[in-house]
């Protein structure tokens, strides 16, 4: 049965790639594998029969894309690599590759944390240094990190949030020390390379999911420590395209606060999903009026569009603080509707 690229396993792809690269290069690659991986790939190579040329080309193209991604990561980090890959191979393919790479970057010690109850993990971390806690939280999914952060004492929440927001590259030695601690507490030793990704975006993703009380405490502390950084985090916490996270009642409440001109300008550069969401919550007359105004104004400077979107986002955050709108996916009791 001929191989089909769509149904191939990662091991089969690796086998095809190694055969295509030739014995000398393949030998160098195989030397670096674990015994288990070596056995599995060797078995796949032995089982390879006829590989269609188009399949070989697709596999090698994927390898090239992964190598590109790794190079971009080393040059500028995960976000930098993702943006360049999107331009090179498209959004969907870039997302698939980067998701795979980010999973590969995780260490065994940190991956053990995903199944631990947030309360237990929060209790374990409470006595750790804020820098250690911040490093660990950057390795968790935003929802899990938000839950753990909520379990910390208020003063610790603020300190950890600040360290995540200002985090830069961390030496591998420090990461390995933390990994050893985690493995000793939660599991058996193993390990691979780790890529730490902190910054304003990382803490913004976490704060988007944390309960409102903790969020306000953290943001107030950030503002007192670094007002510019706090503003950057706030801007990243809810962007215009996140309007799809609002329920219809919240959208209708928001539209009462927004000028029609701002809405027309803001919609010039957004997704069809957002447009559909907004137009579904206005009358047909208003919908026609907005569309006509968008067409009449013609080409618009991106800076003007972003400014209009910013004013609408500010209205969303103000209304959320007042409890008048609900953003789907936010943590805490405020999300419960009875």
Considering the domain architecture, whether residues 94 and 163 belong to the same structural domain is answered as no
pLDDT of residue 254: 93
Separation between Cα atoms, residue 139 and residue 194, nearest integer Å: 9
Contact 137, 160 (CB under 8 A): yes
Spell 111-140 as b/e; 16+ CB within 10 A means b: bbbeebebeebbebbeebebbbbbbbbbbb
Considering the domain architecture, whether residues 230 and 112 belong to the same structural domain is answered as yes
Contact 235, 267 (CB under 8 A): no
Separation between Cα atoms, residue 118 and residue 149, nearest integer Å: 9
Domain finish residue from 84, 105, 126? 105
pLDDT of residue 336: 37
Q: Is the pLDDT of residue 141 over 80?
A: no
Separation between Cα atoms, residue 271 and residue 240, nearest integer Å: 10
Q: Is the pLDDT of residue 163 over 80?
A: yes
Considering the domain architecture, whether residues 140 and 49 belong to the same structural domain is answered as no
Please state the pTM of the whole predicted model: 0.39
Considering the domain architecture, whether residues 219 and 288 belong to the same structural domain is answered as no
Q: Is the pLDDT of residue 153 over 80?
A: yes
Mark residue 246 as left, alpha or beta (left: phi above 0; alpha: psi -120 to 50; beta: remaining): beta
Note the pLDDT tens digit of each residue in 83-107.
Answer: 777 887 788 877 877 776 665 554 4
Note the pLDDT tens digit of each residue in 119-140.
Answer: 777 877 877 888 888 888 877 7
Q: Which of 66-70, 155-159, 241-245, 329-333 has the lowest mean pLDDT?
A: 329-333
For the chain, how many residues are written? 338
Q: Is the pLDDT of residue 71 over 70?
A: yes
Considering the domain architecture, whether residues 112 and 90 belong to the same structural domain is answered as no
Considering the domain architecture, whether residues 260 and 297 belong to the same structural domain is answered as yes
Q: Which of 9-13, 24-28, 75-79, 292-296 has the lowest mean pLDDT?
A: 75-79
Considering the domain architecture, whether residues 211 and 121 belong to the same structural domain is answered as yes
Considering the domain architecture, whether residues 162 and 194 belong to the same structural domain is answered as yes
Compute the average pLDDT of residues 253-282: 91
Domain finish residue from 217, 234, 251? 234
More confident residue, 175 or 25: 25
More confident residue, 223 or 50: 223
Q: Is the pLDDT of residue 237 over 60?
A: yes
Give me the domain span that covers residue 100: 5-105
Considering the domain architecture, whether residues 207 and 262 belong to the same structural domain is answered as no
Domain finish residue from 206, 234, 262? 234
Contact 214, 157 (CB under 8 A): yes
Contact 107, 179 (CB under 8 A): yes
What is the dihedral sign for C-alpha 265, 269, 275, 278? negative
Separation between Cα atoms, residue 294 and residue 286, nearest integer Å: 12
pLDDT of residue 265: 92
Considering the domain architecture, whether residues 79 and 124 belong to the same structural domain is answered as no
Note the pLDDT tens digit of each residue in 271-320.
Answer: 889 999 999 999 999 999 999 988 888 888 888 888 888 889 888 888 88
Q: Is the pLDDT of residue 252 over 90?
A: yes
Considering the domain architecture, whether residues 15 and 87 belong to the same structural domain is answered as yes
- Give me the CATH number covering residue 294: 1.10.220.30
Q: Which residues touch 48 (CB under 8 Å, ≥6 apart)?
A: 15, 16, 19
Number of domains in the chain: 3
Q: Is the pLDDT of residue 190 over 60?
A: no
What percent of the chain has a predicted confidence (pLDDT) above 90? 8
What percent of the chain has a predicted confidence (pLDDT) above 70? 76
Q: Which of 159-163, 180-184, 227-231 has the lowest mean pLDDT?
A: 180-184
Considering the domain architecture, whether residues 171 and 284 belong to the same structural domain is answered as no
Separation between Cα atoms, residue 288 and residue 282, nearest integer Å: 10
Compute the average pLDDT of residues 252-256: 93
CA-nearest of 140, 318, 325 to 245 is: 325
For 325, phi and psi rounded to 5 degrees? -135, 160
Separation between Cα atoms, residue 160 and residue 203, nearest integer Å: 9
Cβ neighbourhood burial of 283 (10 Å; 0-12, 13-18, 19+): exposed
The distance in angstroms from the start CA to the end CA of the chain is 57
């Amino acid at each position: 049965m001929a191989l089909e690229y769509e149904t191939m396993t990662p091991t089969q792809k690796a086998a095809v790639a190694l055969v295509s690269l030739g014995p000398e290069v393949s030998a160098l690659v195989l030397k670096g594998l674990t015994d288990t991986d070596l056995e599995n790939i060797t078995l796949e190579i032995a089982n390879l029969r006829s590989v269609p040329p188009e399949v070989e080309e697709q596999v090698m193209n994927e390898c090239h894309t992964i190598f590109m991604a790794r190079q971009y990561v080393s040059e500028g980090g995960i976000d930098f690599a993702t943006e360049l890959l999107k331009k090179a191979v498209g959004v969907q393919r870039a997302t698939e590759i980067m998701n795979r790479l980010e999973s590969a970057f995780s260490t065994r010690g940190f991956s053990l944390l995903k199944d631990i109850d947030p309360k237990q993990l929060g209790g374990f971390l409470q006595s750790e240094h804020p820098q250690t806690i911040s490093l660990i939280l950057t390795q968790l999914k935003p929802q899990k990190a938000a839950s753990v952060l909520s379990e910390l004492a208020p003063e610790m929440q603020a300190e950890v949030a600040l360290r995540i927001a200002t985090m830069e590259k961390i030496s591998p030695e420090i990461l390995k020390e933390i990994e050893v601690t985690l493995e000793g507490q939660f599991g058996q030793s193993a390990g691979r390379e780790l890529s730490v990704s902190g910054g304003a975006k990382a803490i913004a993703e976490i704060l988007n999911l944390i309960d409102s009380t903790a969020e306000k405490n953290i943001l107030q502390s950030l503002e007192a420590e670094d007002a510019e950084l706090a503003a950057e985090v706030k801007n990243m916490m809810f962007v215009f395209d996140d309007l799809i996270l609002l329920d219809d009642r919240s959208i209708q409440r928001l539209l009462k606060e927004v000028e029609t001109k701002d809405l027309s300008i803001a919609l010039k550069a957004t997704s069809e999903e957002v447009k559909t969401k907004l137009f579904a919550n206005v009358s047909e007359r208003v919908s026609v009026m907005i569309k006509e105004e968008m067409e009449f104004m013609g080409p618009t400077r991106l800076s003007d569009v972003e400014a209009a979107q910013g004013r609408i986002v500010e209205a969303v955050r103000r209304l959320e603080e007042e409890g008048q709108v609900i953003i789907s996916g936010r943590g805490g009791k405020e999300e419960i509707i009875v």
